[in-house]
Chains A and B, each alone.
Chain A
């Protein structure tokens, strides 16, 4: 394995990992989250941003991976039990399901465009022959013998339902059928090489996706017995199809009402038009599973944390440079007393200078003395109390500008007005003003990954380098990464992610400018002295009418807004912005909140909680995208 130096850099879906390694790294929690009806005859669509784990799920059901799960049952009992429970594996006989995995990233989008029968027919023909080809190759893996002799020993029979599929030779043997499929694919490529925009009349063209019916009807006889009666067709990367091809594929496969379950997996970008009306297509025959929502909503991502820790520990177990069994045990969760005392002294000095003008104000006298009395032992809570007091006084001051209340506020008032949100704001204020680490610990690492496995691994890779460095430098007295060290590494990784946006996106420079502007805007709203949107603002909202306006835009009617649309879609698809529905209230219509990716939140120094957002407009987005947003001068908390 090329990445053994840092096991967090390897992508599991890559073909490089052997099936045995794949099984070793596979976190079985994901199987638990798969719904029971996934194995029923219907179209099941799995979608997520890149790195969400789609291909990993699909690969787990290919014959070789299933066999590896079966062999690894003593060491991977949890995954094995899950697969047995679903009838995919048999304890004695091994794999029971023939998973056929195909990718759409293989030239379909380069087929001639347009809705003509010939063009659509060529698309169907290409997919049909590839389904047949991959099914037969997967069958040889399923039977687990030398490919050619296994193929020669397979007899194909068809059930007597009268199902007809004229495009596929019914009387051919398995070997002949493979040759037919290879030749048909070759013919289609030859047609494409002729450099004409539309296919000739003699080009291969099918009238329906009948390979799915073939997969349903064919019986494989090997050594006199029927093998692989249960099948699963998995079509990956559907975002790589053109919109019209995707629509045709889903619509026609649904219409076929095949008894074979068809799993389709694609990035959210494939559903870009629908990110505003999530779940609109859901029905009896099409079921959608947004992977990031499989882990619960973002406010309660405990399930993802468990899953993520499992992934990290499995990878951690692959290496030997850092001893020990768990990744999390090397991430310190607490500050040293020296660090806390130093921070407290600084915080107290800032508190005094900021509260100087309230010294004679009887209303705050109790709160001030409560905050200023140094406790015998300094801990994080005492630090937070200082900042909470500042926030609450600033709020009270803002609310009572025109009233004259001279009754002192009591400690009970303080407790009453304090909340977890205010504590959250105090915590990020501490990070902002005193640079006391905020981005550290296993839970925050998982939150920063925005429910995305690939992001989790890239952040973990950065931390792992630090752990390894400590081992090499023989600083065994403190083998854990301190909060400050964790934060530095995570923020560096966040900056690298931001810097890479122009190099990895079609409208990268614009996307980066828009995200920077949203980050600047959120910082300004977050770090107001009274923390009005505690714990902070990390998203911007577009109302339904703004979004409708955006959807109507075309390249010809408004090129600028059309670019905004494209940039926004791309950011959502790539997980740089995370959308959440925002319901209507008496004062405002419903809409969609675009939250910043949590790793980017770390880059902008924002809190990691969801919930805080500000209303915006597409015109503002256009300005931010084109010219950016400069931080305003009256950034009070920063100035103070």
Chain B
């Protein structure tokens, strides 16, 4: 397991973690070369995350050798005029916040693929990840703030960054990754998330680049298939779209957020998806997996262990195909992405390959008032870097989760 030990902080502890990391950097006299990737979205949470990060960076008095901000924008979404205005305002704020630290670059997903007018979303995502990776040169710190990025965008970027920074997973240099610290930041507010509704799922099922073979390969077509839908509220249309692509013979293992702040959340989700999971597919209740709603590494562990179990048991018939559909919160989605990344690495023999299909909504509806009144809690997942070299002990705590 790559992240058997991990670094995960939430709330006030996040800023303490940054202080420790920058202090360590200053003591070892190593300058900071920063790449900060965030989204050009209507969600104001990205601004508060960056504001806090830049504050701590400045306060640390670390030497900043270079810093680049990549704001990833999107086309093709239907938003109200109010949300469009909020998006523009957010970008200006982000650029202002970062202007004292380094350079800002804007990258719009979907505007650079030329040649044909019916390009698939997977190609566009592949191209976008490619363009983000071009900014990754000799940085020491890479921050991916997923707060205002659509799911397919941050999954693609995160998995591409991981493939570049730790191509061998836990092997080789291991998670130290030559001192490149990759952090994923998430500002979550479950109340606000439940108020942002997404409609009109794309007619075309999008497969995260690099994670498509299990669903598309002719060689694997006759292999058994295991589907892990990670359930979240208000995603019925997307779930239905994805379900149509999953053969009915598939073994379905729904993943529920439990424990959860709302103890009835799991039950409510089962009711919401009853027609797909139970009325139609007759999924056995014993197939349900439970992961903590606020702990991404718990989701990672549960999912990777379940995948490995299936891989082992189906090994007798030549392996199986695995499909993960993350529809839950951002934290759980990031955790499941880590599991998919690891599963792909250990499936290099191409048996038990893993796919991540998604039906991206085309229209978001949200209230500006509820966004402004949001009290999001920041979480930080440190995935690689100095934190894993054994000598770094933030606040003197043990690394293991």
Chain A interface (Cβ within 8 Å of chain B)? 2-3, 9, 14-16, 102, 105-107, 109-110, 112-115, 129-130, 133-134, 137, 181-182, 185-186, 189, 192-193, 195-197, 242-244, 502-509, 555, 570
Q: How many angstroms from the CA of A242 to the CA of B115 in the assembled complex?
A: 11
Question: B217's contact among A106, A110, A555, by CB below 8 Å, is which?
Answer: A106
Besides A109-B118, A109-B120, 19 new A-B residue pairs in contact (Cβ under 8 A), listed by A number: A9-B280, A16-B247, A106-B215, A106-B216, A106-B218, A112-B123, A130-B218, A133-B219, A195-B163, A196-B130, A242-B116, A243-B117, A243-B118, A503-B240, A504-B203, A504-B237, A506-B202, A506-B203, A509-B363
In residues 337-379 of chain B, which contact A (Cβ within 8 Å)?
Answer: 350, 362-363
1/0 contact string of B121-138 vs chain A (CB within 8 Å):
011001101100100000
Q: How many angstroms from the CA of A193 to the CA of B126 in the assembled complex?
A: 9
Question: A114's contact among B116, B122, B213, B217, by CB below 8 Å, is which?
Answer: B116
* Contact call B199/A508, Cβ cutoff below 8 A: yes
| Chain B residues positioned under 8 Å from A137 (CB to CB) | 222
* Contact call A185/B219, Cβ cutoff below 8 A: yes
* Contact call A133/B218, Cβ cutoff below 8 A: yes
Determine whether B41 belongs to the interface, using a CB cutoff of 8 Å to chain A.
Answer: no
Q: Given known contacts A14-B247, A509-B200, is B280 in contact with A3 (CB within 8 Å)?
A: yes
Q: How many angstroms from the CA of A15 to the CA of B247 in the assembled complex?
A: 7
Determine whether B282 belongs to the interface, using a CB cutoff of 8 Å to chain A.
Answer: yes
Q: How many angstroms from the CA of A517 to the CA of B257 in the assembled complex?
A: 42
* Contact call B199/A110, Cβ cutoff below 8 A: no
* Contact call B207/A189, Cβ cutoff below 8 A: no
Which of chain A's residues has its CB closest to B131's CB? A197
* Contact call B123/A113, Cβ cutoff below 8 A: yes
Q: Given known contacts A2-B280, A15-B248, is B200 in contact with A107 (CB within 8 Å)?
A: no
Closest chain A CB from B190 CB (angstroms): 23
Between A and B, 28 residue pairs with Cβ closer than 8 Å are A2-B248, A2-B281, A15-B248, A106-B218, A107-B213, A109-B120, A110-B207, A110-B209, A113-B114, A113-B116, A114-B115, A129-B218, A134-B218, A137-B222, A181-B219, A189-B212, A192-B126, A195-B129, A195-B133, A197-B127, A242-B116, A242-B118, A243-B118, A503-B236, A504-B240, A505-B203, A506-B204, A509-B200
Question: B200's contact among A115, A186, A505, by CB below 8 Å, is which?
Answer: A505
Q: How many angstroms from the CA of A133 to the CA of B78 in the assembled complex?
A: 43
In residues 305-353 of chain B, which contact A (Cβ within 8 Å)?
Answer: 350
Q: How many angstroms from the CA of A192 to the CA of B212 in the assembled complex?
A: 10
Q: How many angstroms from the CA of A106 to the CA of B220 in the assembled complex?
A: 11
| Chain A residues positioned under 8 Å from B219 (CB to CB) | 133, 181-182, 185-186
* Contact call A192/B247, Cβ cutoff below 8 A: no
In residues 208-234 of chain B, which contact A (Cβ within 8 Å)?
Answer: 209-210, 212-213, 215-219, 222
Determine whether B64 belongs to the interface, using a CB cutoff of 8 Å to chain A.
Answer: no
| Chain B residues positioned under 8 Å from A243 (CB to CB) | 116-118
Q: How many angstroms from the CA of A106 to the CA of B222 in the assembled complex?
A: 14
Which of chain A's residues has its CB closest to B222's CB? A137
* Contact call A244/B116, Cβ cutoff below 8 A: yes
1/0 contact string of B171-209 vs chain A (CB within 8 Å):
000000000000000000000000000011111100101
Q: How many angstroms from the CA of A504 to the CA of B240 in the assembled complex?
A: 9
Determine whether B249 belongs to the interface, using a CB cutoff of 8 Å to chain A.
Answer: yes
Determine whether B85 belongs to the interface, using a CB cutoff of 8 Å to chain A.
Answer: no
Closest chain B CB from A132 CB (angstroms): 10
Which of chain A's residues has its CB closest to B133's CB? A195
Q: How many angstroms from the CA of A181 to the CA of B217 in the assembled complex?
A: 11
* Contact call B241/A16, Cβ cutoff below 8 A: no
Which of chain B's residues has its CB closest to A503's CB? B237
Closest chain A CB from B355 CB (angstroms): 10
The 8 closest A-B pairs by CB, nearest first: A16-B248, A503-B237, A107-B216, A114-B115, A182-B219, A106-B216, A130-B218, A110-B122
* Contact call A110/B123, Cβ cutoff below 8 A: yes
| Chain A residues positioned under 8 Å from B350 (CB to CB) | 186
Closest chain A CB from B375 CB (angstroms): 31
Determine whether B119 belongs to the interface, using a CB cutoff of 8 Å to chain A.
Answer: yes
| Chain B residues positioned under 8 Å from A570 (CB to CB) | 203
* Contact call B203/A185, Cβ cutoff below 8 A: no
Determine whether B113 belongs to the interface, using a CB cutoff of 8 Å to chain A.
Answer: yes
* Contact call A114/B114, Cβ cutoff below 8 A: yes
Q: Given known contacts A110-B207, A193-B210, is B248 in contact with A115 (CB within 8 Å)?
A: no
Q: Given known contacts A106-B217, A133-B218, A242-B116, is B362 in contact with A506 (CB within 8 Å)?
A: yes
| Chain A residues positioned under 8 Å from B236 (CB to CB) | 503
Q: Given known contacts A15-B247, A114-B116, A242-B116, is B199 in contact with A503 (CB within 8 Å)?
A: yes
Which of chain A's residues has its CB closest to B350's CB? A186
Determine whether B294 belongs to the interface, using a CB cutoff of 8 Å to chain A.
Answer: no
| Chain A residues positioned under 8 Å from B147 (CB to CB) | none
Question: A507's contact among B122, B200, B207, by CB below 8 Å, is which?
Answer: B200
Question: A502's contact among B117, B199, B210, B216, by CB below 8 Å, is which?
Answer: B199
| Chain A residues positioned under 8 Å from B207 (CB to CB) | 107, 110
Determine whether B160 belongs to the interface, using a CB cutoff of 8 Å to chain A.
Answer: yes
| Chain A residues positioned under 8 Å from B241 (CB to CB) | 504
| Chain B residues positioned under 8 Å from A193 (CB to CB) | 209-210
Closest chain B CB from A487 CB (angstroms): 24
Which of chain B's residues has its CB closest to A189's CB? B213
Q: How many angstroms from the CA of A503 to the CA of B362 in the assembled complex?
A: 10
Closest chain B CB from A177 CB (angstroms): 13
Q: Given known contacts A3-B280, A113-B115, A197-B127, is B247 in contact with A509 (CB within 8 Å)?
A: no
| Chain B residues positioned under 8 Å from A192 (CB to CB) | 126, 209-210, 212
| Chain B residues positioned under 8 Å from A508 (CB to CB) | 199-200
| Chain A residues positioned under 8 Å from B130 (CB to CB) | 195-197
| Chain A residues positioned under 8 Å from B199 (CB to CB) | 502-503, 508-509
Which of chain A's residues has its CB closest to B164's CB? A195
Q: How many angstroms from the CA of A538 to the CA of B186 in the assembled complex?
A: 51
Which of chain A's residues has its CB closest to B119's CB? A113
* Contact call B201/A503, Cβ cutoff below 8 A: yes
Q: How many angstroms from the CA of A504 to the CA of B129 in the assembled complex?
A: 28
